[in-house]
Amino acid sequence: MGARGPGRSERGERRAGSPSDACATLAAVAPSSAQFDLTRSELSFGRALTALVREVEDDLFVTARGLKINTFAEMLDGISAPTLAAAVAGATPPSRRLMEECARFLRVRPEYFREYREALPRAA
């Protein structure tokens, strides 16, 4: 018989979905508060928004599967759920207005989003 411990089968093999797997997944998706940078993200808009919402809001707007698009869109002025969904999925680039509205609601500067910073020189 192999070594058996948390997350191990009778033969000592790692089981899928073990607590250590869950911790690794969460660490990769949502950084801990101690290292989370509220001033800027290098992630794509959808990933950056989901991580930010997970960090600053309760579970009202995000689940383990991701951002609750309809619920979050209701909080944004003039932004529809389909528009938000397309930008989060990467199907369309996020508009400047969308990023500004998300930043307003989450109380960060719009420059938090990489795409917003990349668009600044072109707008000037």
With cut-offs at 50, 70 and 90, classify the pLDDT of residue 28.
very low
Termini Cα distance of the chain = 68
pLDDT at 123 over 70: no
Q: What is the CATH number of domain 42-123?
A: 1.10.260
Listed by start position, the domains of the chain span: 42-123
Q: Which residues pair with 14 in a beta bridge?
A: 8
- Residue scoring higher pLDDT (62 or 14): 62
Q: Is the pTM of this model over 0.85?
A: no
Query: According to the model, what pLDDT value does residue 59 have?
Result: 82
The pair phi, psi for residue 11, each rounded to 5°, is -90, 5
With cut-offs at 50, 70 and 90, classify the pLDDT of residue 34.
low
pLDDT-above-90 percentage for the chain = 60
**The residue to which tokens 């979905």 are assigned:** 17
